[in-house]
Amino acid sequence: AIATYRQALAAAPDNRQIIEALLALLGDDHDPREKVELKERLAARETGDEAVELAFEVAELWEGLGDSAAALRVLQRAYKGEFGSDKLRAELERRYRELGDWEALAQHLADAAEREPEPERAAEILREVAEIRNDLLGDSNAAIEAIREASGRNPESLELIRSLATMLADAGEHQAAIRELSHAIDWTPMSDETMLELLKARAEHRTIIKDELGAVQDLERAYEIAGAPMVGELMAALESLRASASRSGDLEAERRATLRLVDILSAEGGGDQARQTLAQWVERSPRDVEALRRLLEIDTAAERWEAVIESCTRLIGAESGEAQVLAAVTLVEACEKAERPGDAREGLEKVYADNPDNEEIRAHLKKIYEEAEDYTKIAQILISEAQAVEDEEQRFLMLRQAGELLLDEDSEAAAVALKQALELRPTDQAVNLLLVEAYLEAGNNEAADGILDAAIEATRGRRSPELCVLQYNKAKIARFRGDREDELQLLKEAYHSDRNNGDVAIELADLAEEMEDYDLAIRVLRSIALMEAAPITRAVAYLRQGYIADKRGDRQKAVLWGRKALMEDPNCAEATEFLQRIGEL
C-alpha cells in the first residue's frame, strides 16, 4: 500500500488525501525525512493560523533531524503566504540574527516595514535596515535608500531627516542632502521648531557648496520663524553674499544683499546703521531709484502695508523686467500681510502680461486664481503658455492639464484643449477618455461614441484592461441613452476584457440583477468574491447570491449563501437579518 501511495504521490504531488494516507501508513521505523517532507507538503497547502502552526511544527522536526536550512526554508515559505503573521516574522528575524545573515535580515526587515501599518514603527525598522546595510554590509547607497524610505514613512521625524542628510553629506553628496531637506521643507507639515532646524541645516549644506544665495534664502525663512535669535546668522550670510557678489562683479546681487541688510537693521533697531549702509550703496550705485526704493524699504520695516502696496503699484507702472517682477513679488507679500491677498491680482496680471515667461509671477497669479476658484483663468494661462513651448511633451502635459481644469467649468473649452493635446499624442488613451468625458458633459454623445469606437477598433479585439475601460465608457453612454440592454451587453464585453476590474464587475452584477438575469449576476458575484481588491467584501458577495436564491424561491441555496456570508464575516448584520427573515436564526 505504501508503494502504491508513493506512486500516486509522484503523479499528484500536492494531493492532500494521498499525503495524509501515506503519512498514516508510515510507522516509526520508516525514514523520518520522508515523513517530515510529507508534512512539509501539507504545510505548503495550509492557510491562516493552521499554516503558521504547521510550519513551526515542521521546522521543529527538521531541526530535530539536524537540517536547519530546511527548517528555515519551511518558515520562509510559510511567511510568503502569511505575511501578516507576527509569530513567523519574529522567528525569521531571530534566525537571521543568529545566523549572521545580515543581507537576509535587512531584506526581511524591509519587507516587515513595508507591511507595518504604524508609520513610526515602520520608520524605526527601516532605520535598523539602514544601520545594517551601512555598518554590517558596507553598502552606503542601500543604507541611504533605507533611511530615505524611513523618512518617507515618518516625515515629521526631525531625527530621520537629519540622519538622511548627514549620511548623504558623509558620502559627499551635499546636493542630494539639500534635495532631501528641500523635499521635507516644501512638502511636510511640521512645527515651527522643526522647520527652523531644517532650514538651518540646509543653509549649512548650501554654504559648503558655495551657494550663498540659497543659504541666505533659508536663513531668511528661519528669521521669519524665530526672529531676533537668527539675526546674527542671517546678517553673516548676507555679508558673505555681498562679498561674493562683489568679487564676481554681480552688482545686482550685491545690491539686493545690501538692501536686505538695511531691512534687517531697520527691523532690529539698527536704524542709524541701516541708513549708513544704504548711503554707502547709493554712493557706489547713484543710478538706483533711491527715493522710491528708500520709501518702500522704510514702509516695509515699519509694517505700513498700505503704503507699501501703493509704492509697489507705482513701481510696477514705472519699472520693467526684473525690477518690475520684484515689485510685484513685494506687492504679493504686502497684500498677504494686509490680509488682502486678492488685491495683488491686478498688479500681477499687468506684470504677467509684460513678463509671460516669469515662473514666479505665474505661480503667484495661479495661486490667486486658485483661491478665487477661477480655474478658467488658470487653464487660459496654461493654454497660452503651451503655444510658446517647443518641447512637445511639455506642451502636451500643459494642454492636458488645461483640459482637466476646464472639465467642470467649460466642457466645450475643455474639449478644444484636449483635442489640441491629442494632436500631439493621438493614441493617448487617458486624454481620449478625458475628451470623451468633456463631450459627455457637453451633451455630445455622438462625438464621445465615435472616439470610443475608434479606440476600440484600434485594439483589434485584443482583450486588455485598456479595452475594458473603453467598453466601460461605451456602457456609460448607453446608460445616458437609456438603452439598458446595450449597456448590459457592453458591460459584459468590458467584464470579459478584464475580469479583474472591480468597478465593471460590480456594475455588471448590479445591472444583471436589476434586469433579472440572475445567472449572469451570480457568475459575476462569484468572480468578485475571488478578487484580491474587490469592490465589495466577500461576505456581501455571498449574501447577494443568497438574496438572488431567495428571489428564485430556492430556499436551500438562500440558506447556504446566507450562512457562508455569516461565516465569512460574523459581524455582518445584513447576513444575520437575512437569515432571520428566512427563518434560519
- Band (219; pLDDT cuts 50, 70, 90): very high
- Residue labelled with grid coordinates 497669479: 365
∠ CA 179-108-79 to the nearest 5 degrees? 140
Residue 238 resides in a domain: yes
- Please give the pLDDT value at position 28: 66
Question: What residues contact residue 446 under an 8 Å CB cut-off, 6+ apart?
Answer: none
- Residue labelled with grid coordinates 513701481: 315
Q: What is the mean pLDDT of residues 442-461?
A: 83
By 3-state DSSP, what share of the chain in percent is helix, strand and coil, each rounded to 5? Answer: 80, 0, 20
Predicted confidence (pLDDT) per residue in 36-49, tens digit: 777 777 767 667 77
Q: Comparing 287 with 262, which gets the higher pLDDT?
A: 262
- Please give the pLDDT value at position 554: 93
Q: What is the mean pLDDT of residues 430-441?
A: 86
Task: Take residue 453 and report the three cell numbers written for it.
Answer: 469606437
φ, ψ of residue 149 in degrees (nearest 5): -65, -40
- Please give the pLDDT value at position 350: 94
Domain count, the chain: 1
What pTM does this model have?
0.40
Residue 116 resides in a domain: no
Residue 284 resides in a domain: yes
* CB-CB contact of 160 with 151 (8 Å): yes
Q: What is the mean pLDDT of residues 89-96?
A: 83
Question: What residues contact residue 365 under an 8 Å CB cut-off, 6+ apart?
Answer: 345, 348, 349, 352, 381
Q: What is the mean pLDDT of residues 483-490?
A: 94
Task: Take residue 70 and report the three cell numbers written for it.
Answer: 530546511
Q: What is the mean pLDDT of residues 227-244?
A: 92
- Band (81; pLDDT cuts 50, 70, 90): low
The residue type of 421 is A
The residue type of 4 is T
Q: Tell me the C-alpha distance between 50 and 67, whole Å.
A: 23
Q: Tell me the C-alpha distance between 537 and 518, whole Å.
A: 19
Q: Tell me the C-alpha distance between 58 and 279, whole Å.
A: 87
Predicted confidence (pLDDT) per residue in 146-173, tens digit: 988 998 888 778 788 888 888 898 888 9
- Given a cut of 90, is residue 117 above it in pLDDT? no
- Band (345; pLDDT cuts 50, 70, 90): very high
For every residue of 283-299, DSSP letters joined together read HH-TTS-HHHHHHHHHH
Question: What residues contact residue 112 under an 8 Å CB cut-off, 6+ apart?
Answer: 89, 93, 125
Q: Comparing 555 with 311, which gets the higher pLDDT?
A: 555
Residue 282 resides in a domain: yes
* CB-CB contact of 129 with 103 (8 Å): no
CA 387 to chain centre: 30
List helix spans (H) across 339-464.
Answer: 345-354, 359-371, 375-388, 392-406, 411-424, 429-441, 445-458
- Band (277; pLDDT cuts 50, 70, 90): confident
Comparing CA positions, the residue from 365, 318, 307, 313 lying closest to residue 341 is 365
CATH number for the domain harbouring residue 253: 1.25.40
Residue 332 resides in a domain: no
For every residue of 465-520, DSSP letters joined together read HHHHHHHHHHHHHHHHHT-HHHHHHHHHHHHHH-TT-HHHHHHHHHHHHHTT-HHH
Cβ atoms within 10 Å, residue 57: 14
∠ CA 384-387-393 to the nearest 5 degrees? 115
- Band (6; pLDDT cuts 50, 70, 90): low
What's the domain range around 213? 191-288
Q: Phi/psi zone of residue 8: left (φ > 0), alpha (ψ -120 to 50 degrees), beta?
A: alpha
- Please give the pLDDT value at position 209: 92
Question: What residues contact residue 259 under an 8 Å CB cut-off, 6+ apart?
Answer: 278, 281, 293, 297
The residue type of 45 is R
3-state SS assignment for residue 31: coil
Question: What residues contact residue 277 under an 8 Å CB cut-off, 6+ apart?
Answer: 258, 261, 262, 265
Q: Comparing 1 with 487, which gets the higher pLDDT?
A: 487
* CB-CB contact of 351 with 358 (8 Å): yes
Residue 67 resides in a domain: no
Q: Phi/psi zone of residue 116: left (φ > 0), alpha (ψ -120 to 50 degrees), beta?
A: beta
- Please give the pLDDT value at position 70: 82
- Please give the pLDDT value at position 508: 95
Predicted confidence (pLDDT) per residue in 365-393, tens digit: 988 988 888 888 889 888 888 887 889 99
User: How many helices and strands in the chain, by DSSP H and E?
Assistant: 33, 0
For every residue of 548-562, DSSP letters joined together read HHHHTT-HHHHHHHH
- Band (291; pLDDT cuts 50, 70, 90): low
- Please give the pLDDT value at position 182: 92
Q: Tell me the C-alpha distance between 237 and 242, whole Å.
A: 9
Question: What residues contact residue 74 under an 8 Å CB cut-off, 6+ apart?
Answer: 40, 43, 55, 58, 59, 62
Question: What residues contact residue 447 under an 8 Å CB cut-off, 6+ apart?
Answer: 439
Residue 263 resides in a domain: yes
Question: What residues contact residue 472 under an 8 Å CB cut-off, 6+ apart?
Answer: 490, 491, 494, 501, 503, 504, 507
Q: Comparing 30 with 275, which gets the higher pLDDT?
A: 30
Q: What is the mean pLDDT of residues 219-248?
A: 92
- Given a cut of 70, is residue 19 above it in pLDDT? no
Residue 200 resides in a domain: yes
- Given a cut of 60, is residue 83 above it in pLDDT? no
Q: Tell me the C-alpha distance between 52 and 73, whole Å.
A: 13
- Please give the pLDDT value at position 153: 87
